[in-house]
Amino acid sequence: MEFTQEILDKVKLLQEKYNLMGQSLDGYLDGLLLANYLTYWDYIQLDTLLSLQNPKTDFPDEEIFIMYHQITELYFKLALHELKQIAYNGKNMASNGHDLGWKDTLDANYFADRITRINRYFESLTKSFEIMVDGMEKEQFLRYRMALLPASGFQSAQYRKIEICTTDFFNLVDKDMRPSLQGKNLNVDELFEHIYWNKGATELSTGKKTLTLNQFEKKYKSEFIALANEYKDKNMWAKYKALSVEDQQNPKLINALKELDVNVNVNWPLMHYKSAVRYLQQKEGDAPATGGTNWQKYLPPRFQKRIFYPELWNKEEHEEWGKGWVETNVFKTHF
Ligand code: HEM
At 285 the pLDDT is 57
The rounded Å distance from CA 296 to ligand 1 centre is: 12
Confirm whether 23 is domain-assigned: no
Residue ranges of alpha helices (H) inside the chain are: 5-20, 25-34, 40-43, 46-49, 61-87, 108-128, 130-134, 138-144, 157-166, 178-181, 188-192, 211-230, 236-241, 245-248, 251-262, 268-280, 295-298, 301-304, 315-319, 325-330
Q: How far apart are CA 199 and CA 204, in angstroms?
A: 10
Instruction: Supply the DSSP symbol for 100.
Output: E
To test the pocket of ligand 1, the residue of 152, 281, 286, 298 to mutate (highest count of ligand atoms within 8 Å of its CB) is 152
Please report whether residue 185 resides in a domain. yes
Q: So what's the pLDDT on residue 335?
A: 34
For ligand 1, say whether the CB of 303 is within 6 Å of any of its atoms: no
For residue 229, the domain's CATH number is 1.20.58
The C-alpha angle 203, 204, 205, rounded to 5 degrees, equals 95
Is 155 within the bounds of a domain?
Answer: yes
168 C-beta neighbours (distance < 10 Å), count: 19
pLDDT at 292 over 70: no
Residue 6 inside a domain? The answer is no
* pLDDT tens by residue, 227-278: 999 999 999 999 999 999 999 999 999 999 999 999 999 999 999 999 999 9
Instruction: Check pocket membership of 210 for ligand 1, CB cut-off 6 A.
Output: no
**What is the rounded average pLDDT of the residues 298-317?**
96
| pLDDT at residue 94 greater than cutoff 90 | no
Q: What DSSP line would sit under 101-150, residue for residue?
A: EE-SS--HHHHHHHHHHHHHHHHHHHHHTHHHHHSS-HHHHHHHGGGGTT
* Contact (Cβ atoms closer than 8 angstroms) between residue 53 and residue 66: yes
To the nearest 10 degrees (0 to 180), the angle between helices 61-87 and 108-128 is 170
Give the integer Cα–Cα distance in Å for 193 and 181: 12
Q: Is residue 105 a part of any domain in this protein?
A: yes
Q: Calculate how far, in angstroms, residue 211's C-alpha sits from the geometric centre of ligand 1.
A: 16
Ligand 1 centroid from CA 246, angstroms: 40
- Residue 93 is predicted with a pLDDT of 66
Domain count, the chain: 1
Q: Tell me how crowded residue 167 is: count the other CB atoms within 10 A of its CB.
A: 24
Whether the CB of 275 sits within 6 Å of ligand 1: yes
Average pLDDT in the 81-88 region? 96
pLDDT digits (tens, 9 = 90+) for 145-204: 999 999 999 999 999 999 999 999 999 999 999 999 999 999 999 999 999 999 999 887
How remote is the CA of residue 58 from the centroid of ligand 1, in Å? Answer: 22
**pLDDT score recorded for residue 291:** 58
301 part of a folded domain: yes
Model confidence at 286, pLDDT cuts 50, 70, 90, reads: low
Considering the domain boundaries, does residue 42 fall inside one?
no
pLDDT value of position 333: 42
SS3 93: strand
Whether 243 is covered by a domain: the verdict is yes
The DSSP element (H or E) to which 58 belongs, if any, is: none
Ligand 1 binding pocket includes 153 (Cβ within 6 Å): yes
The response to whether residue 68 sits with its C-beta less than 6 Å from ligand 1 reads yes
| Residue 154 Cβ contacting ligand 1 at under 6 Å | yes
Range of the domain at 136: 56-330
Q: Of all protein residues, whose CA lies closest to atom 12 belonging to ligand 1?
A: 295
Phi and psi, residue 206, nearest 5° = -110, -15
